[in-house]
Amino acid sequence: MPRFLYGNFDFEHQLTGETYGTSTGAAASLTSSLACCWLGLAEAGDQIYLPATLPREFTEQLATSGFPPVEFTSEWPTAKAARSLNFVPWGWSNEVAKLAEAKGFAIETGVLSAASTVNARSFSFQLETDWELALPGSCRVESLESLEQAMQAFCDSDDSSWVLKANFSMSARERMCGRGSKLSEPIRGWAAKRLTQGQPLFLEPWVERMSEAGIQLEIPAVGEPTLIGLTVLLNDTRGQYRGSRINVDDSTLQQWQPVIDVANRVARVVQQTGYTGPVGIDAMQYRDAEGNMRVRPLQDLNARYTMGRLALGFQRFLTADQVASWLHFPWKESYGIDFSNWLRCVTQQLPGDVSVRPTSPDRIEGQPPRLASLLLIAENDTDLQATEAALHDAHNELNQTTG
C-alpha cells in the first residue's frame, strides 16, 4: 500500500507538551524544511507531505538521478483516498494521531502510550542503570536542590565538565553544558523551568567523544525485532547531526558488535511496552579521564524514524562495491549562493569517480531550507572520507567568510 509520509520533526516537543501540559513553541516550519529527508525511505507511489512549493527543477533532477517517482503534496488526501494510503509519521504522538484520524486515515492507537514512555530519557536511563552501562556519576534529578547537591558530589574540581539533559531531547537540543559545581543563572533558569513542569533532568559527565554509531531496528507486534543496519554518525563539535556514513565494512561492524548486542536486548524490552515500529539507538566510543577507550552502548534511544534510518534507505542506489555518506549542511540566505551552485563549484575539485546527488532543493517556498543535504557515493573509503572532509571544510570556510 502506498504511504503518506508526514514529517512531524518536532516530535519530542510534542511529547513534552503532552506529558507536562505546556506549550513548547516548536517551529512548525520543520515539517516543510526537512520533508525532503523522506527521500531515503520513499518508494514509487508514496506521497510526502510538504506544505510549500518546490522548484520544478528539483523534482526533475530527482528523476534524472534515479530516485523513484514520489509525489510532494501540500494537500491532504480526501477521506476516501486516505483509506488507500498507509499514514507514516516521523514519530507517534497524540497530536499527530488525532490529526491523521481527522483526515480519514486508519491508525493504530495502541502504540501512543508506549511511544511516549520509550522516548523519555528516564526509560533509557533506567536501562543504563539496571544494566550498569551508564557513564560514571550520571544521575537523575527532580529538583533544583537535588541538582545542586548532585553537582557538588559530581564535580571534583572547577574544571569538571558536564551536560544536563531534559527528559525529551534530541540532536544536541534540550540540553545545557557547563563546568564546575556552580550553576550559572541561564542554566539555573533553564533547569527550573523544566523541573517546575514535573520533568526530570539528567546530569552526565562530559566525555571525549571519539566516534558514534546509529543502530536501526524494527519492532514488530509479534516475533523477534529486526536489525536493519548500522551507520557511522557524523556529528559536529556540538554533537549535532551532520550526516551518516552508510556502508560499513566487516571490521567496523565487528568493532561495534557489543553495541549491536545491547541494541538487540533493548529492542526486546521496548517490544514489551507495546511499541511497534522503527527504533534508532545511538552509541558512542569515548576516552575516559585516564585515556582508556570506553563504549556507551545506549547513549540515546529513539522510538521513531531517525536520519540514520532514512540514510540506510539510500543503499538501494549503490552497487555492491560502492560506499556512501548522506551529508547535511546548515544553510543560510546570508551565504548569497544557492546550495546547488555552491556544490557545483566545490565538486569541480573532487575525484572524478565520486558522485554527488543533492537530496534537498535550493528553495522551499522561496527560502533556503534549514538543512541542505546530499548523497555522496564513492568507490572506496579513502575517497569517501577525503570528500566528506573537503565538503565540510568548504562549508566552514563559507560560514567564516559570510560571518
Q: pLDDT tens digits for 56-75?
A: 999 999 998 889 999 999 99
Average pLDDT over all residues of the chain: 91
* DSSP 3-state percent helix, strand, coil across the chain (nearest 5): 35, 25, 35
Q: Which residue has the higher pLDDT, 361 or 22?
A: 361
Domain assignment of residue 118, yes or no: no
- Name residue 208's amino acid: E
For 223-237, 337-351, 372-386, which range has the lowest pLDDT when averaged over its residues?
A: 337-351
CATH code for the domain in which residue 284 is found? 3.30.470.20
pLDDT over 60 at 172, yes or no = yes
- Alpha-carbon span 335 to 55, nearest angstrom: 19
226 and 200 belong to one structural domain: no
Of residues 49 and 65, more confidently modeled: 49
Q: Which three cell numbers stand for residue 52?
A: 510549500
Find the CATH number of the domain harbouring 382: 3.30.1370
Q: What are phi and psi of 374, to 5 degrees?
A: -150, 155
Q: Tell me the pLDDT band of 235, cut-offs 50, 70 and 90.
A: confident
What is the predicted pLDDT for the residue at 370? 86
Average pLDDT over residues 105-122: 92
Assigned domain for 371 exists: yes
Q: Please give the DSSP secondary-structure letter assigned to residue 367.
A: B
Q: Is residue 358 part of a domain?
A: yes
Residue 375 forms part of a structural domain: yes
Number of domains in the chain: 4
90 and 145 in one domain?
no
Confidence category of residue 44, pLDDT binned at 50, 70, 90? very high
Do 292 and 332 reside in the same domain of the chain?
A: no
Q: Which range of residues forms the domain containing residue 63?
A: 3-107
* Length reported for the chain: 403
- d(C-alpha 293, C-alpha 288), whole Å: 7
Scan for cell 501540559, then name that residue.
Answer: 21
For residue 154, being part of any structural domain is answered with: yes
Report how many helices (DSSP H) and strands (DSSP E) the chain contains, helices first. Answer: 14, 16
**CATH at residue 198:** 3.30.1490.20
Check residue 26 and give its pLDDT: 47
Q: What is the mean pLDDT of residues 120-131?
A: 97
User: 89: buried, middle or exposed (CB in 10 Å: 19+, 13-18, 0-12)?
Assistant: buried
In terms of domains, do 217 and 311 share one?
A: yes
**Same domain for 200 and 266?**
no
Buried b (16+ CB within 10 A) or exposed e, 255-275: ebeebbebbbebbebbbebbb
Q: Which of 278, 300, 316 is the last residue of a domain?
A: 316
Q: Is the Cβ–Cβ distance between 127 and 191 less than 8 Å? A: no
Read off the pLDDT of residues 321-365 as tens digits, 9 standing for 90 and up. Answer: 999 999 999 999 999 999 999 999 998 877 778 999 999 999 999
303 and 322: one domain? no
Of the residues 264, 297, 316, the one at which a domain ends: 316
- The answer, yes or no, to whether residue 403 has pLDDT greater than 70, is no
Residue 127 in domain: no
Q: Are residues 283 and 212 in the same domain?
A: yes
